[in-house]
């Protein structure tokens, strides 16, 4: 079902210009999901027919595989622990949070990309992901990376709705949309890449005003999918982006400490996003729009890894773990012998172990608010 297209690897080991030009395209991690144990118990009478995701690489299920972009992960060692060891385009050694949430809520084990050319039509009934790695709320972010913007993703969502109507009719389509669980995961590329690493927005905005731009865009997107039928919408905040392995390397000094300026920017953005989601939840009829704090749970793991069964949090499992991501993380580089000891798989994205740690703290924490 999944493409195993192999890219020819590039292996610049030094932190050269090519390394920097690649880094600007990539998305941030967040921790979510917890498969293999008891599923989340939903309130009585609640039905979740589908999971539908928008955003960046955290919930990109392979949308970028056939795009003309370097922001891809459809080659080894990505996916080495995925069923049959297939690299599907997911930026992980295994599943993404979108897969884990779908499984945890009893919808299905794997959430496919809407653009997966081999997708079975019946998959549409239980949800898809429109997310594209390297995307963001700032329109400049996906342009820089040559990936799908939120406008592109919304247009695909409209196509998806028409497909559903053709399959099950208008009434059933409305039921599916109103009862599905929508994930909106973005913002970290805007901050870590477009604002800080590339810096093209720093000439125009200080951090608070740039956060305002991001929140305004996020608000419009939430309202757009609401108008199209979405009601249960989880909007994820930014993680402590300064503690990502690559950002430690780029901005953490000789000791590769967490880049506090980056973390402070994430906190400013989150402090503006949360009240906006609360406002939308209070004003859009019959909505369950919930801000998901990912900053504090992820930082807790980074600061107290052994408490969570993690040993390494400052580098990824792939290569040196300091800078390798996407085409810099390829089959010619070694990977760590035991990725279950690592929080990060590459220099940007968590391991499967990392993604599974916080389901009870994150998904479990918000289940009553969402459903």
pLDDT of 266 above 90: yes
| Angle at alpha carbon of residue 292, lines to 362 and 99, rounded to 5° | 60
Above 70 in pLDDT, residue 33?
no
Of all residues in the chain, the percent with pLDDT exceeding 70 is 89
* Res. 291: pLDDT tops 60: yes
Instruction: Select the more confidently predicted residue: 272 or 35.
Output: 272
Percent of the residues in the chain that have a pLDDT greater than 90, as a whole number: 81
pLDDT of residue 212: 98
Query: pLDDT for 108-125, tens place per residue?
Result: 999 999 999 999 999 999
**Between the CA of residue 326 and those of 115, 285, 368, what are the distances in Å?**
19, 41, 36
pLDDT bucket at 254, cuts 50 / 70 / 90: very high
With contact defined as beta carbons under 8 Å apart, do 182 and 59 qualify? no
Is residue 4 pLDDT above 70, yes or no?
Answer: no
Is the N-terminal amide bond of 71 cis, ω within 30° of 0? no
Give the pLDDT band (50/70/90) at residue 214: very high
pLDDT of residue 358: 73
Instruction: Catalytic residue, from 60, 99, 190, 346: name it.
Output: 346
> Quick one: pLDDT at residue 334?
95
Residue 22 has pLDDT above 80, yes or no: no
Give the pLDDT confidence score for residue 364 in this predicted structure. Answer: 77
Average pLDDT, the chain: 89
- Give the helix ranges, DSSP H, for the chain: 17-23, 97-104, 140-145, 150-179, 188-189, 207-227, 245-251, 260-283, 295-303, 352-356, 363-370
Q: What share of the chain is helix, strand, coil (3-state, %, to 5)?
A: 45, 10, 50
**pLDDT tens track for 304-318:** 999 999 999 999 999
Of the pLDDT bands very low, low, confident and very high (cuts 50, 70, 90), residue 1 is: very low
User: Which of the residues 19, 57, 129, 180 is marked catalytic?
Assistant: 57
Determine the pLDDT at residue 14: 34
349 has catalytic annotation: yes
Which has the higher per-residue pLDDT, 204 or 12? 204
Confidence of residue 44 (pLDDT cuts 50, 70, 90): confident
CB 129 within 8 A of CB 184: no
Give tens-digit pLDDT for 320-349. Answer: 999 999 999 999 999 999 999 999 999 999
Instruction: Average the pLDDT over 212-219 and give the result.
Output: 98
- State residue 359's pLDDT score: 63
pLDDT score of 259 more than 80: yes
* pLDDT band with cut points at 50, 70 and 90 for residue 260: very high
Indicate if the pLDDT at residue 160 is higher than 80: yes
pTM of the model: 0.90
Tokens in use for 136? Answer: 């963001």
2 pLDDT more than 50: no
Q: Is 35 one of the annotated active-site residues of the chain? A: no
Could you tell me which residues come within 8 angstroms of residue 156 by beta carbon, excluding any fewer than 6 positions away?
114, 115, 130, 148
């Amino acid at each position: 079902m999944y493409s195993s297209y192999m890219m020819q690897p590039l292996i610049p080991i030094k932190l050269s210009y090519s390394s920097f030009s690649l880094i600007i395209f990539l998305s941030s991690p967040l921790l979510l999901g917890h498969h293999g144990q008891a599923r989340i118990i939903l309130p009585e009478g609640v039905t979740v027919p589908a999971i539908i995701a928008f955003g960046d690489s955290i919930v990109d299920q392979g949308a970028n595989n056939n795009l003309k972009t370097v922001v891809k992960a459809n080659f080894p060692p990505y996916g080495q622990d995925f069923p049959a060891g297939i690299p599907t385009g997911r930026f992980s050694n295994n599943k993404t949070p979108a897969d884990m949430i779908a499984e945890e809520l009893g919808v299905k084990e794997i959430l496919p990309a809407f653009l997966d050319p081999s997708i079975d039509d019946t998959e549409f009934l239980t949800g898809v992901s429109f997310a594209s790695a390297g995307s963001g709320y700032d329109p400049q972010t996906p342009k820089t990376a040559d990936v799908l913007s939120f406008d592109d993703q919304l247009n695909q969502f409209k196509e998806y709705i028409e497909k559903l109507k053709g399959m099950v009719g208008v009434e059933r389509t409305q039921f599916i949309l109103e009862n599905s669980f929508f994930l909106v995961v973005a913002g970290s590329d805007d901050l870590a890449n477009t604002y800080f690493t590339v810096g093209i927005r720093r000439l125009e905005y200080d951090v608070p005003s740039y956060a305002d731009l991001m929140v305004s865009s996020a608000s419009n997107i939430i309202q757009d999918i609401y108008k199209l039928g979405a009601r249960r919408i989880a909007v994820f905040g930014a993680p402590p982006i300064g503690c990502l392995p690559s950002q430690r390397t780029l901005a953490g000094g000789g000791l590769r400490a967490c880049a506090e300026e980056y973390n402070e920017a994430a906190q400013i953005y989150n402090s503006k996003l949360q009240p906006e989601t609360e406002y939308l939840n209070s004003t859009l009829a019959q909505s369950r729009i919930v801000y998901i704090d990912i900053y504090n749970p992820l930082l807790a793991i980074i600061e107290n890894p052994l408490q969570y069964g993690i040993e390494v949090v400052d580098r990824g499992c792939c290569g040196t773990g300091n800078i390798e991501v996407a085409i810099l993380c390829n089959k010619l580089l070694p990977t760590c012998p035991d990725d279950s000891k690592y929080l990060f798989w590459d220099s940007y994205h968590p391991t499967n172990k990392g993604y599974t740690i916080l389901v009870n703290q994150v998904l479990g924490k918000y289940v009553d608010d969402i459903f």
